[in-house]
Amino acid sequence: MEEEKRYCLNCHRPVTGRSDKKFCSDSCRTTYNNRLYSRQRNALNRIDRILKKNHAIIDRLYSRGEREIEFTELFGMGFNFYYITSLRENPDTGSSFILGCYDYSYIIDRNGKVIIGKKRFTQL
Ligand SMILES: [Zn+2]
């Protein structure tokens, strides 16, 4: 049976040797892995920045005593609703969720209002 031709994951040149070998050289393996880890790190950093921006927005509102804001207004301030740090069922209603942004929590009510609260330390 003829062995299937394999190609280096980095430079795409044919790979010879052990059947589980994926790279033609150590340098190609290192280059490939560095690029892979760099992409993963960048993706995580991007999400971290979004969450920190969300936190800064919510922290500014909360510090000013603002506990309710229109969903659209919060969105307009650059708050990204796509990322949260926690999620739990709302015990008061049992049908909605309490979303988390680090030490803050918020719910979005039926009228499109976002109600902001601060988590108690025991919930962290
Ligand atoms: Zn290579």
Could you tell me the distance, in angstroms and rounded to a whole number, from the CA of residue 18 to the centre of ligand 1? 15
Per-residue pLDDT of 57-98, as tens digits, reads: 999 999 999 999 999 999 999 999 999 999 999 888 766 899
Long-range CB contacts (within 8 A, 24+) of 79-82: 79/53, 79/54, 80/50, 80/53, 80/54, 82/50
Calculate what percentage of the chain has a pLDDT beyond 90: 84
> Does the reported pTM lie above 0.85?
no
Supply the pLDDT for residue 8. 97
Residue 56 burial by Cβ neighbours in a 10 Å radius (0-12, 13-18, 19+)? middle
Q: How far is the CA of 27 from the centre of ligand 1 (A)?
A: 8
What is the 84 CA–ligand 1 centroid distance (Å)?
A: 40
Residue 3 has pLDDT above 70, yes or no: no
